[in-house]
Amino acid sequence: MSDSIFSLISRIRSLEGEIGEIVDRRVSEFLEFNSKSDKEWFSELCFCILTANSSAELGIKIQSSVGEGFLTLPRSRLEEELRKAGHRFWRKRAEFIVSARKYANIKEIVLERIEVGGVFGAREWLVRNVKGLGYKEASHFLRNVGYLDVAILDRHILALMAQHGMVEVPRTMTRRRYLEIEQKFLELSEMAGMKPGVLDLYMWYMKTGRVLK
């Protein structure tokens, strides 16, 4: 382990006393999704579609205001809601959400996929079938519904990993590159003694000062 990585892990562990209770509450919320409805899972899927090239804060705001409208609003009305909320890609995100409605039973689908191919198999299905989801967004969704073994390689996490000499931030995030970087993140997770989806919250806090989802 390099000195830089040792320093990163030490900093992460020191944060447990500072934000550990907040992180634990957030993780409990993720794990509670096992008992939630398809509608709530679909809402979380839409949240993750909205965060691509945007922000978690805006996704949370829209998720709160639109509610079940993700499933029921006509596309034109959904576009208007996203536009009013300030989403840069309001038209395209509305298109993706309407397209995703054919998977309104997303909880059932994901649970079946996990049973057959594990969480990484479920992620492959999401990336191949749900418009607007790349590996980062599919991982984000799976983590938020209680599966903590995938890495959410957003710009904050990549910047922190690069800062500590673990990776070079790629100009284009291909599938191969994502999986290569994810492997390094999983190794870091093991060294830190945390699930990847939990480590993400601590590292995200280090870059943003917040614990969101």
Catalytic residues, by residue number, are: 136, 154
Residues 149-184 as b/e (b if ≥16 CB within 10 A, e otherwise) read bbbbbbebbbebbeebebbeeeeeeeeebbeebbee
- Long-range pairs, 81-89, Cβ under 8 A, ≥24: 82/50, 85/58, 85/61, 86/58, 87/50, 87/54, 87/58, 87/62, 88/53, 88/54, 89/53, 89/54
Q: What is the 3-state secondary structure (H, E, C) of 181-203?
A: HHHHHHHHHHHHCCCHHHHHHHH
Cβ-based neighbours of 169, under 8 Å, separated by 6 or more: 158, 159, 162
